[in-house]
Structure 1
Amino acid sequence: MEHTPKLALPYILAAQAQKHVTHNEALRRLDQIIHLSLRTLTPASTATSSPEEGDAYLVATNADGVWTDHPGDIATYHEGD
C-alpha cells in the first residue's frame, strides 16, 4: 500500500529517495482539504485563468477543459497546478 486509505496521503516507502517530496505532497493535500473553503458555492464549468494560491472550486457537471472528467470534484490551485 503506497497511500492512506481515506485521504490518499503518500506513505514514505523504505529506501525511497527524496523523502521530502512525498512528505511535502502529503502536507499539500492536508492543507487543501482540512480547512476547505470554496471561492463560490456555484459550481464552475471552466478553470479560471488567474487563480490565487489556495483557491478551490466545485466542478460543475458540464465542465470543460482540464475539468472535463471531474464533475462534482473539488479543484484546488497550489503552486501553479
Structure 2
Amino acid sequence: MPDITPNLELPFIMPAQAQKHVTHNEAIELLDMIVQLTVESTGATTPPASANEGQAWVLGTSPSGAWAGQAGKIAAWRGGGWLFATPREGWMAWVKDDSELQVFTGSIWATLAGTAA
C-alpha cells in the first residue's frame, strides 16, 4: 500500500503508526489549503515580508528566499511557516490580483473562459 493518495498526495495513516494525529493533521492542512483554492497572485517569486494565515501564492519559475527550489508550486502560509503543494492538471483557483478564476493546464495557469473581470 502506498504512503500517500494518488491525486492530492495526502498521507495515509499506516497500521501501527505512532502519533497518528500528526499524519491526520497534515492531511487536513493540505485539504484546507487546496480545496476552494484562492491565491493572491500567480508567478510570484519573492515571499512577502509578512503573510496572513492561509494566504497562498502560485510560484513562478525562479522563486527566491524561503520559496527557493519550489518553482511552479502553490505556497501557503500555514502555522508560522510555508506549506507547498504541487498543482495537478485541472485544479482551479480564484486569483485575487487578476479577479478571475484560473485553471492549471498541466503547464500554465490560464483564465477560465467567462470569468475574467
User: Do they fold alike, i.e. is TM over 0.5?
Assistant: yes
Cα drift, residue 77 of structure 1: 0.9
Q: Which runs of 5+ in 1 are unaligned?
A: none
Structural mapping, 1:38-57, within 5 Å? 38-41=39-42, 43-57=43-57
% same residue? 44
Q: Greater CA deviation, 24-33 or 68-77? A: 68-77
Matched to 1:77, the amino acid is W
> Whose strand proportion is higher, 1 or 2?
2
Structural mapping, 1:2-81, within 5 Å? 2-41=3-42, 43-81=43-81
Q: Greater CA deviation, 57-66 or 11-20? A: 57-66
Cα drift, residue 61 of structure 1: 1.3
> Whose helix proportion is higher, 1 or 2?
1
Matched to 1:3, the amino acid is I
Count of residue correspondences: 80
Matched to 2:54, the amino acid is G
Over the aligned positions, Cα root-mean-square deviation in angstroms equals 1.2
Distance 1:64 1:40 in 2: 16
Please give the TM-score of this superposition, normalised by the length of structure 2: 0.64
**Larger relative contact order (Cα-Cα within 8 Å, sequence gap ≥ 6):** 1
Cα drift, residue 71 of structure 1: 1.8
